[in-house]
A = this chain, B = another copy of it.
Amino acid sequence: MSCPKNKLRIVLIGAGRVATHLSARLASSFQLVQVYSRTMPSAESIATLYGAEAINDVRLICPDADVYLYALSDDALPAIIQQVAVRNTKGLHVHTAGSVGIDVFGDAVPRAGVLYPMQTFSKEKAIDWAEVPVFIEAKQPSDLATLQEIASALTPKVYEASSAQRQTLHLAAVFCCNFTNHLYAVAHRLLSEQGLPFEAMLPLIRETVQKVETLSPIDAQTGPAVREDQSILQRQHASLPDGSWEQQLYDLISQHIILYKKQS
């Protein structure tokens, strides 16, 4: 099997949400030669859009691409790297996971890199790439230029970050995005039980975010916990089912807010 030889030739490994959003952006600047997924329809759903070959067998991965871009769950990453990397030890192997170190590639992969787009990717919603920071890391400094080239096709916000820094960025992102969204889900449930619409929260949610555009979150903190208003804290605690997860969350976060205030 041979790959076409003009633009940087990329094999995309994975066909989930991150792979979908990456391919939409990369296909116009680079040649997407193959898209691999365990399930053929997933591979095809991306491949057919950009004239790439869809495959669901790692043994068919083309051995002479320039870049192998892994957009998979962290759990799946080590096993698939082992199978793919042996097929081309000259190509650049790049994963996109925030929390996985560059060392996941091991010694058998001399040219390893990471390209981590820090954003929450939904199937249902387009991404404003101009606002997405991308953090890159390369095992060999000479590969940074290629990573920079790929990342620059995604966004102007490209930064170098070590594996340790990237893991902290990803952890902070989990707090800022996944966990805050869960608190919205808790509010949604509380409101639904009283027949109230979640939409009533949107002005408050927008204002909360606008505040941290200019203030440090510690300075922006408001509410009963930071005021140590014990009567509200007790009343709100009591209004939640005893021993419920929501009550545990309420107590833990309230106490933590008071602790942070005392430490600041």
On A, residues with C-beta under 8 Å from B are 17, 73-75, 99, 118-122, 124-125, 127-128, 131-133, 157, 159, 164-165, 167-191, 193-194, 196, 198, 200-227, 229-232, 235-236, 239-240, 245, 248-250, 252-253, 255-257, 259-260
Contacts and interface: CB of A to CB of B under 8 A. Distances in A.
Contacts of A225: 178, 182
The secondary structure that dominates the A interface is helix
A133 B165 contact: no
Contact of A223 (B178, B211, B245): B178
A206 B175 contact: no
Given A174-B236, A253-B249, A213 B208 contact: no
A188 B215 CA distance: 12
A35 B188 CA distance: 37
B177 A125 contact: no
A99 B232 contact: yes
Contact of A221 (B181, B190, B253): B181
A212 B181 contact: yes
A187 B181 contact: no
A217 B99 contact: no
A164 to B, nearest CB: 7
B122 A220 contact: yes
